[in-house]
């Protein structure tokens, strides 16, 4: 085995999942994360189909996810008075298992922290590659040498920018922005959610952690915004300007937003790249092939990608040139299919006109009685299962 020392940038989902499999195959992983600690909160993510569940079983964490699953039922679209107008079944958005992103991150961290070095509160600033490895400089820590560097640092990947070029070359903005934060379950929602849609805007409230709290979610249509991703005050001002007076619970939630401990704001986009590796640097998860948060595929795709990349590194005895090529061969078609699930969803989520918003609300009201009512969930499941997972278990060295 060669190239045993691997640096992973990002401690959300793809990074810890990759660290887990690298350890199983005899590699030594270090994970660096810009945030000072694990990020709690976040939206619910789901896993569907045998490919996702097989990876979770082989990781030994499926039971852990089952214990903290959201247990979400149907979701209702409501009018400005809060009266339900249409109800969508759970299998349209919750998959086989739905879990809060923060809970998933904690489970992955707990599964890896005994054998993985985690460095919180730091980030990569430069990568200098030579024939034998990569010298990595950090914002705070001293430079270090690694055999390989893997970017698992999301839509706005620093690793991708340093190794491949500016973000605008790879990120396709879908014309939508989102915000999410934890708040009180003041509507008394019981494992369900309510959503209110107007032209170019959608606001929703979902119960969380077995109804003890809730997640407020805002989506709105807009071109790319000139706002620093770390300027929370400016982000909250944009959200207030967009949704003030919007109706339903919008103003109440905007007030609650000021006290949220986990406010998150970002654009909705996809990542499209001709290759996911360059030399000794490779990308996984959203950094490489983000399907967008609207696709419902991001976390499952990240877990499968981590499983395949680590397995191919083990199969190639650490030869990154062979492993990175095989990783792309195994994952490319699958990633493209998952990305297609995000195409077009933005316009349906936040239609640009009042007439279209009204039409969609009426369609949802009768959708359950129409032929093909399960088509969306069937298409999602087909995309999630469109891969034959290699079996790398004979390569385990744990």
pLDDT, one tens digit per residue, over 36-66 is 999 887 788 889 889 999 999 999 999 999 9
Q: Which of 172, 165, 206 is nearest to 189 (CA)?
A: 206
Environment class of residue 376 by beta-carbon count within 10 Å: exposed (0-12), middle (13-18) or buried (19+)? middle
pLDDT of res. 95: 74
Q: In the prediction, which pLDDT does 228 show?
A: 82
Between vectors from CA 144 to CA 142 and to CA 145, what angle results, nearest 5°? 170
Distance CA 296, CA 341 (A): 8
157 within a domain of the structure (yes/no): yes
- pLDDT at site 363: 61
Helix ranges (DSSP H) in the chain? 14-24, 49-59, 62-67, 101-112, 158-164, 232-243, 250-257, 286-289, 298-315, 320-340, 345-349, 354-367, 375-384
Residues of the chain falling short of pLDDT 50:
none
Whether residue 256 contacts residue 168, with contact meaning beta carbons closer than 8 Å, is answered with no
Q: Which residues contact 56 (CB under 8 A, 6 or more apart)?
A: 47, 62, 65, 97, 303
CA distance 186 to 202: 19
CA distance 271 to 162: 16
Whether the Cβ atoms of residue 174 and residue 342 lie closer than 8 Å to each other: yes
The domain in which residue 111 lies consists of: 5-348+377-395
Q: Evaluate whether residue 324 is within a structural domain.
A: yes
Count the neighbouring beta carbons within 10 Å of the beta carbon of residue 374: 13
- Beta carbons of 137 and 146 less than 8 angstroms apart: no
pLDDT score at 324: 98
The HSE-up count of residue 373 (CA atoms within 13 Å, CB side) is 14
Residue closest to 180 by CA, chosen among 80, 72, 30, 293: 293
Look at the block and give the residue holding tokens 């107008």: 85
> Does residue 127 sit within a domain?
yes
Q: Phi-psi category of 296—alpha, beta or left, where left has phi over 0 and alpha has psi -120 to 50?
A: left
CATH number for the domain harbouring residue 308? 3.50.50.60
Please report the pLDDT score of residue 86 as a whole number: 81
Asked, for residue 368, whether it belongs to a domain, the answer is: no
Number of domains into which the chain is organized: 1
Phi, psi of 51 (to 5 degrees): -60, -50
Is 90 contained in some domain? yes
Is 48 a domain residue?
Answer: yes
- Spatial separation of the C-alpha atoms in residues 196 and 206, rounded to whole Å: 12
User: How many other CB atoms are there within 10 angstroms of residue 294's CB atom?
Assistant: 22
* 235 belongs to a structural domain: yes
pLDDT of residue 96: 84
260 by DSSP, 3-state: which? coil
Q: What is the largest CA-CA distance in the chain?
A: 65
Q: DSSP state, 353?
A: S
Total number of residues shown for the chain? 398
- pLDDT the model gives residue 374: 62
Question: Apex CA 196: angle with CA 191 and CA 199, to 5°?
Answer: 150
Concatenate the DSSP letters of all residues of 222-251 into one string: -SPP---TT-HHHHHHHHHHHHTT-STTHH
Asked if residue 35 belongs to a domain, the reply is yes
C-beta separation of 20 from 355 below 8 A: no
Question: With contact defined as beta carbons under 8 Å apart, do 146 and 184 qualify?
Answer: no
Burial of 83 (0-12, 13-18, 19+ CB in 10 A): exposed
Among positive and negative, which fits the CA dihedral 342, 43, 61, 111?
positive
Question: The whole model's pTM is what?
Answer: 0.93
């Amino acid at each position: 085995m060669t190239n045993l020392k691997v640096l992973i940038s990002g401690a959300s989902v793809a990074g810890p999942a990759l660290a887990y499999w690298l350890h199983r195959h005899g590699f030594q992983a270090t994970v660096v994360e810009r945030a000072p600690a694990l990020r709690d909160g976040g939206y619910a993510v789901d896993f569907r189909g045998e490919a996702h569940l097989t990876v979770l079983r082989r990781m030994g964490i499926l039971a852990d996810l089952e214990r903290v699953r959201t247990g979400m039922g149907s979701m209702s679209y409501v009018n400005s008075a809060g009266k339900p107008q249409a109800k969508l079944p759970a299998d349209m958005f919750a998959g086989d298992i739905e879990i809060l992103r923060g809970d998933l991150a904690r489970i992955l961290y707990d599964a890896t922290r005994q054998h993985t070095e985690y460095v919180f509160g730091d980030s990569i600033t430069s990568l200098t590659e030579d024939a034998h490895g990569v010298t990595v400089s950090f914002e705070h820590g001293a430079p270090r040498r690694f055999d390989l560097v893997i970017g698992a640092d999301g839509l706005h990947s620093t690793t991708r920018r340093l190794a491949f070029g500016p973000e605008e070359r790879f990120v396709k903005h879908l014309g939508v922005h989102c915000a999410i934060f934890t708040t009180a379950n003041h509507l008394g929602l019981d494992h369900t959610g309510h959503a209110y849609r107007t032209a170019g805007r959608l606001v929703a409230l979902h119960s969380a952690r077995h109804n003890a709290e809730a997640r407020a979610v805002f989506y709105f249509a807009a071109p790319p915004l000139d706002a620093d991703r770390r300027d929370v005050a400016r982000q909250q001002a944009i959200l207030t300007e967009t949704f003030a007076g919007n109706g339903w619970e919008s103003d109440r939630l905007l007030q609650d937003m000021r006290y949220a401990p986990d406010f998150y704001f970002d654009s909705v986009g996809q990542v499209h790249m001709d290759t996911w590796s360059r030399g000794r640097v490779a990308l996984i998860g959203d950094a490489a092939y983000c399907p967008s948060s609207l696709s419902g595929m991001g976390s499952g795709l990240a877990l499968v990608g981590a499983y395949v990349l680590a397995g191919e590194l083990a199969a190639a005895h650490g030869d990154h040139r062979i492993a990175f090529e095989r990783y792309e061969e195994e994952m490319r078609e699958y990633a493209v299919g998952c990305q297609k699930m995000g195409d077009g969803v933005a316009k349906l989520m936040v239609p640009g006109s009042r007439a279209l918003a009204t039409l969609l609300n009426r369609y949802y009201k009768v959708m359950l009685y129409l032929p093909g009512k399960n088509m969306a969930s069937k298409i999602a499941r087909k995309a999630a299962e469109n891969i034959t997972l290699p079996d790398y278990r004979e390569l385990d060295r744990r």
